[in-house]
Amino acid sequence: MLELSIFVILALFMIGGSVAMITNKQTIFSAFGFLVAMIGLAGMFALLDSRFLALAQIMVSVGAIVVLSMLTILTINAKEESLPHEPHKYKWILVSTILVMPFTFLLYKTLSSFGQNFELTQSFTSKVIGKTLFTNWVLPFEIVSILLLAAMLGAIVIARKEEKEL
């Protein structure tokens, strides 16, 4: 019963944060909605007994990604006139909601065919995760390290000022 109430609270937080993210006009308020959704997701991971994943979510998504987005938003500091002019925003959101609804239903029906009961297992601590990561998943782990290096170089090259602009 306690788990159920925690789930409902976290789910409401996540859905509310996502809706706030989609509907707000000011970008920084959207980023706050996104932050609420990410913290709720970390709570969901903890509820699913993936403790290390919850910690990683807090450290990477909340601590790095959301803070980096907010920093970029505040650095760009788009004024009211340079924000996109969207007079029919709610109409578009309503239309796309109606269009996406059948897809949501299809996704839910497909996913519910996978399984109905959680097995009673041990929680996935960092020991279990580390053992699996460094035995069965070593190659993807190395590929991810190369991907992160490439993304870092790419971000530096893209965001750098051109020489002629200086």
Partner 1 sequence: MTPNMFYLLVSILFSLGLIGLVSRRNLFIVYMSVELMLSSVNLLLATFSKLLGSPDGSVIALLMIAVIAAEAALFLAMIIHLYRAKKSIDSDNFVKLKERTNHA
| 39 belongs to the binding site for partner 1 (CB under 8 A) | no
3-state secondary structure the chain: CHHHHHHHHHHHHHHHHHHHHHHCCCHHHHHHHHHHHHHHHHHHHHHCCCHHHHHHHHHHHHHHHHHHHHHHHHHHCCCCCCCCCCCCHHHHHHHHHHHHHHHHHHHHHHHHCCCCCCCCCCCCCHHHHHHHHCCCCHHHHHHHHHHHHHHHHHHHHHHCCCHHHC
> Sign of the C-alpha dihedral, residues 104, 107, 109, 114?
negative
Per CB under 8 A, 20 contacts partner 1: no
Site for partner 1 contains 138 (CB under 8 A) = no
Binding-site size for partner 1 (CB under 8 A) equals 87
Tokens of 57: 């979510």
The nearest distance, CB 32 to partner 1, in angstroms, is 11
96 touching partner 1, by CB under 8 A: yes
Nearest distance from C-beta of residue 115 to partner 1, angstroms: 5
Per CB under 8 A, 83 contacts partner 1: yes
Residues 104-123, interacting with partner 1 (CB under 8 A) = 104-105, 107-108, 111-112, 114-119, 121
Query: Which of residues 80, 103, 164, 166 is near partner 1 by CB under 8 A?
Result: 103
The yes or no reply on residue 142 touching partner 1 (CB under 8 A) is no
**Does 155 engage in binding with partner 1 (CB under 8 A)?**
yes
Q: Check binding of 74 to partner 1 (CB under 8 A).
A: no
**Interaction of residue 27 with partner 1, rule CB under 8 A:** yes
